[in-house]
Every structure is written in structure tokens, then in C-alpha cells.
Amino acid sequence: MRRPSGAAAAAVRRTTAARQALRARVRLVAVTPLTGRVAAGFLVLLALAVFLLPLLYRTSATAADALHTVAGPSTGHPLGTDDLGRDELARLMAGGRITLLVGVAAMAIAVAVGGLLGGVAAFFQGWAGMVIMRVVDVMLSIPSFFLVLIETAVFGHSAGVVIVVVGLTYWPQIARVVHAEVLKWREAPLVEAAVILGNTRWRILFRHVMPQVLSSLIVLATLGVGWAILAESGLSYLGLGIQPPQASWGNMLQNSQIYIWTDPLLGVYPGALIFVTVLAFSILGEALRDALDPRLRDQG
Amino acid sequence: MPEPLLQVRNLKTHFHGRTREIRAVDGLDLDVHHGQVVCLVGESGSGKSMASLSVMRLVPRPHGRIVDGTIRFDGRDLLSLDERQMNAVRGNEIAMIFQEPMTALNPVLTIGEQVAEVLHVHRGTGRRESLDAVVAMLRRVGVPRAGEIVHEYPHQLSGGLRQRAMIAMAMICGPRLLIADEPTTALDVTIQAQVLALMKEVRREFRTSIVLITHDLGVVAEMAEHVYVMYAGQIVESVAADVLFQSPVHPYTRALMDSIPSLTAERDVLFSIPGNVPDAGAYPEGCRFAGRCPIAQPSCRDHPIPLREVKPGHFARCDLV
């Protein structure tokens, strides 16, 4: 057989690698329970709706229409208007953007901080690890939502603050799980082998140990996004999160309270969306746990 | 004779237990010459694995430490290197392979990534450029379909292929010394033979010295040029391999040979050495084998027995032979 040229061989290698990666992804979908796939589908649709639909539906979320307040569905306002005559559909989309953004960004912070600190504490141990894990214990002993409440009361109410506060409140949960997993993996022969091959300690932690923890991290983060969305909605509902006129499902819910008898749908829309979204993240998280943990999968 | 590649003198690796000192390696002398295959033989707990970990400066801390001795490798004193310098030796100049290739390989990285990583760590080679070197290395250690296997994960390979991949990782930087700690124990017999043949070839092709740690005298007969027999943390006999099998002198070595089932002799019960290895926390003052030795005399027990040259080039730690 003639040796293929370098470029052709590289192309073949790339496609092989790509095909294998694709196969791994397909397999993950196949073993994810149906409920999880439905939840994931819903979340994708929701994300498309809140991020892309505004490109087509250009009604402002903040422009007030004084002549049509608390009005039911009409051609101009498919889902009606709120107490200031703002378009309900546009506000739901704007609120969804904030809610999803806060949930995902806060969890990204929690995963980064919790994963790093938990991993370092378990891998290097010593007094620094001791201090980190005692901080985790202290933070876990305080009810998270009250912690978030206090922090937003102190630091302010912008979306950025809410993201940071929620993320920095959730990280101990992640740190504790990562800590336990890394403790288990640092004794594995593959770590010994990596030492013997001349890897530095940090390289071993990030290249050989942390990837083993990734599946737990994905599950935790997915469940955590649900928690973060709930926290953001709760804060906004109490007036400590996203501030009007900026829309958020939480403050829309609060706003609709006094119209519960005149126009109950104003409360149903954001409430149902919060409920279904959080539920979808929970179901997806559980489904991913089943899919990523072969021990649970075999028990059917 | 030129200076040996690896020269270990009076190595003592101890562990402190709660109440006493465990002397895992207790005054080890060992030479490995360029291109030589040296076998370290001994039963479980004799200190042979701890001796190899000491050479790599990987004695489990905080309980274990090297308390005395020198380890000279290629003219340098390994015990005086700092951690960064030692990392440059590990996997680069001295490589090691293990018993269990499955658990030593990383399940989430492909074989290619893992072999390439060793190159990256020691040579700074980028992952893409090293791919060709990795494939070539896998071919040299007899991995079929090397071009595809670089993209596969450890769980997709058979035990023999995994061990070959381990050997490829160990050899990719062209180390001068390869330490193999029971490399064939976890493999079935046909694969064992292949891996041993491969190690011979690796040694011939790369001119690498090999320290083979084993409890299997069959492997010793197959591979070794020089054999060190370890017992209770010490070398009890040191001699060229062919001499060892012809005329072992130390009673322990002879007992080991007698424990091998023979194809021809008729015997109902397999021979085994009576008694147990002495407690590493409380070695007797005198000969450590005296309690199990068929020819022990009262005088064996009252003084430490030195390693003595019984014939030219043949050392044994016994006064009676």
C-alpha cells in the first residue's frame, strides 16, 4: 500500500477522531433516559425562544402603552400587557434571557471556584486544604438562600452582583463532591504512573485527576443551574434581585400579584416558566447522572 | 570495568510505624551496567518494589523515607536532586512500567494522547507534531493498527496491547534505564511470553538497561544476566544468572529453586519453605533467614551476616557456604 501523503493522513486522522467523538456523543444521548431527552429538548427550545425569537418579535419589553394596561391577548400583544401596558411576551423573553444567563453564569462561577478549591484541597491536602474544607463546612451550615439574601442586600441588585453572589454561595456544594472524588482518584495507580513519567503535581491534577471528576461535575452543575434560577427568581420576587423596569420572571411574578383576580394569566406565565424550567434542569441532571454512571445504568 | 549506569550503595528505606521503625530496604547494594538486564527476585514483602521506588525517589511520604545510602545514576547522585530535577529524570532517563496496565492508564485520554503527553512533558513537543512519533513508537513495540489505536481509549484494548502501550509511554523518550515491576504478573501466559520478548527487543534496539522485579524464577531464567536475590530487605545472593541456576549457594535461593514444581520428579506435596518472612519491624540481630534455614547453626543468630564473595563474582550472605 502506498503511504498516504502527510496532509491526507492528517485529514484521515482528524475525521477518525471527529467520528469517535461524535460516536461518544451519540452514545451519551442513547443512554440518557427519555425524560432527560425531553427535558433537554425543552431547554433548547426555551433558549432559542428567549435568545432568537426577539429578532423576529421586535416589540419592546419596557415601552409602556398607557391605553392598554392589564389587557388580555390581542393582535398587538399576543399574551396581553401588564399593569403599565408593557408587552407580556416581550417581557417573558427578556426575563428568560436574564434568568438563563444568571443560572448558567452563576453555575459557571460555582463550578470553577468549587472545582478548583475542592480539587486542590483534596490533591495537595496540607493546611491549605484543611482551611478550604472547613470554610466549605461553615458555608454549608448556613442556609444558602438566606446567605444570598444577605449578600444581595449588602452588595446591590444588578444582574452581575446576583450572578457572582449566587455562584459564590453554591461553590461549597461542588467543592465537597469534587473533594471526595479527587481524594479517591489521587490514590489511583494512574496517578502513580503519571508521577513516574515525570509529570508535575499540578499537571497531574488538571490533566489526569480532574477529567475523572468531570461527569460528577456535569451532573452537579446541571442540578445547580436549577437551583440558581430558583434563587434568582426568589430574590427578584422579593425585590432584591433584578430591578424593574428590567424584566425577570421573579419580579414579573411579584408584579402580577395584585392582579391575581383581574388577570390571573399575568402570574401564571412567569410562574409556570420558572416551575417548568427548574424542573427541566432537575430532570436533566438526574438523567445525566444515570447516563454517566454505568453502575446505575446496569441496574435498569 | 566502566562505572555502572546505576549504582546503589547501602540504601536504607524505612517507614516509621506508630511504635517502631519498619526497615523495608535495609542496606541494599546494587549495580546495573549499561545495556544489562538485572533481575531483582524475592517474595512479597522482601523490599524489592520499595527498592525500585527509592531509585525513583517515590517512597510514599510522609511515613517512608530514605534514611541512608547513595544512588548514583549516570554519574549523578539522585538523592541530591531537587524535585524539579528529579521530574526531568523520571520518565525521561529512568522509566518504569507496572503490573496493572489498566489501572495505570488514564481511562479518559486516548492512547495517543497519553504517549504524546510524555513527549510533551519532557521535550515540549506539541500534541499534533508528536503524533507521528507516537504512531512510530507504537509500531516499534508491536502494536498492530497503530494509526487507529492512537485514537482509541484504554478500555478498547486487550491486556497485552495495554501493556505494549505502557511500554511505548515508557520508551518514547529513550530512557537509559527501564524498571519493570512485575510487568507480566497480570497477563496470561502467552501474552507474558510476548511482553518478555518485547522487553528483550526494546533492550537490544534502544540499548536500555533493564531492572526486572519479579517473584517468578521462570521470568528470571528467560531474561536476566545478573540476579539479585532479596530477602527481608537485604540482598542475600548476587551472581550471574546462569551460575545462579547451576549452583545457587544461599540456603534461601536453594529453597526457592526447590519450590518450583518439577515436570519430571514425582512428588505428592509441593515443597514450600517452612515459616514466614520475619517481621520487618523486628528483624533479628543475626541472619534473617536463620529461623527457616535447614542448615542454620546457633552462631548464625548472634551477629549480622555480611555479604561475602564465595567465588569470584558470586556473593552470598551466609557464613556456612
C-beta atoms of B151 and A207 within 8 A: no
SS3 (DSSP) at B226: strand
Collect the ranges in chain B with pLDDT lower than 70. 1, 265-267
pLDDT the model gives residue A70? 74
Question: Residue A10: which pLDDT band, with cuts at 50, 70 and 90?
Answer: low
Mean pLDDT computed over every residue of chain A: 84
Q: Which residue has the higher pLDDT, A55 or B41?
A: B41
- Taking the Cβ of residue A199 and every Cβ of chain B, the question of whether any pair is shorter than 8 Å is answered with yes
- Taking the Cβ of residue B298 and every Cβ of chain A, the question of whether any pair is shorter than 8 Å is answered with no
Q: Which residue has the higher pLDDT, A18 or A39?
A: A39
C-alpha distance from B86 to closest chain A C-alpha (Å): 8
Residues of B in contact with A208 (CB under 8 A): 106, 109
- Provide the residue ranges of all domains of chain A, joining segments of one domain with +: 32-59+78-298
Question: Residue A298: which pLDDT band, with cuts at 50, 70 and 90?
Answer: very low
What is the chain A residue with the closest CA to B96? Answer: A196
* Tens of pLDDT, residues A122-179: 999 889 999 999 999 999 998 888 888 888 888 888 888 999 999 999 999 999 999 9
Handedness of CA B108, B111, B114, B120 (dihedral sign): negative
- How many inter-chain contacts (A to B, CB under 8 Å) are there? 69
- Taking the Cβ of residue A144 and every Cβ of chain B, the question of whether any pair is shorter than 8 Å is answered with no
pLDDT the model gives residue A1? 41
C-beta atoms of B88 and A198 within 8 A: yes
Q: Which three cell numbers stand for residue B79?
A: 538523592
C-alpha distance from B320 to closest chain A C-alpha (Å): 41
- Taking the Cβ of residue A13 and every Cβ of chain B, the question of whether any pair is shorter than 8 Å is answered with yes
C-beta atoms of A13 and B151 within 8 A: yes
Please name the member of B58, B87, B148 whose beta carbon is closest to the beta carbon of A16: B148
Preceding amide of A270 cis, omega within 30: no
Please name the member of B91, B100, B105 whose beta carbon is closest to the beta carbon of A198: B91
Question: Per CATH, the architecture of B6-93+177-316 is what?
Answer: 3-Layer(aba) Sandwich (3.40)
Residues of A in contact with B57 (CB under 8 A): none
Q: Which residue has the higher pLDDT, A60 or B116?
A: B116
- Provide the residue ranges of all domains of chain B, joining segments of one domain with +: 6-93+177-316, 99-172
C-beta atoms of A194 and B98 within 8 A: no
Residues of A in contact with B118 (CB under 8 A): 197-198
Count of helix runs (H) and strand runs (E) in chain A: 12, 0
b/e map B142-173, b = 16+ CB within 10 Å: bbeebbbbbbbbbeebeebbbbbbbbbbbbbb
Residues of A in contact with B122 (CB under 8 A): 198
pLDDT the model gives residue B206? 86
pTM here is 0.78
Mean of the pLDDT values across residues A189-205? 89
AA identity, residue B5: L
Q: How far apart are CA A268 and CA B312, in angstroms?
A: 96
Do β-strands B314-316 and B64-73 pair in parallel, antiparallel, or remain unpaired? unpaired
Question: Residue A299: which pLDDT band, with cuts at 50, 70 and 90?
Answer: very low
C-alpha distance from A195 to closest chain B C-alpha (Å): 8
pLDDT the model gives residue A62? 78
C-alpha distance from A74 to closest chain B C-alpha (Å): 55
Residues of B in contact with A9 (CB under 8 A): 147
Residues of B in contact with A198 (CB under 8 A): 87-92, 118, 121-122
Q: Pick from A157, A156, A150: which is nearest to A241 by CA?
A: A157
C-alpha distance from B87 to closest chain A C-alpha (Å): 4
Best mutation target, B82, B87, B173, to test chain A (most A CBs within 10 A): B87
CATH number, span A32-59+78-298? 1.10.3720.10
C-alpha distance from B265 to closest chain A C-alpha (Å): 41
C-alpha distance from B44 to closest chain A C-alpha (Å): 19
Residues of B in contact with A13 (CB under 8 A): 131, 147, 151
Please name the member of B56, B106, B117 whose beta carbon is closest to the beta carbon of A196: B56
- Residue A166 · residue A102 · CB < 8 Å: yes
SS3 (DSSP) at B26: strand
C-beta atoms of A193 and B98 within 8 A: yes
* Tens of pLDDT, residues A72-124: 777 777 777 777 778 888 889 989 999 999 999 999 999 999 999 999 999 99
* Tens of pLDDT, residues B199-228: 888 888 888 999 999 888 888 988 999 999
* Tens of pLDDT, residues B257-270: 888 877 776 667 77
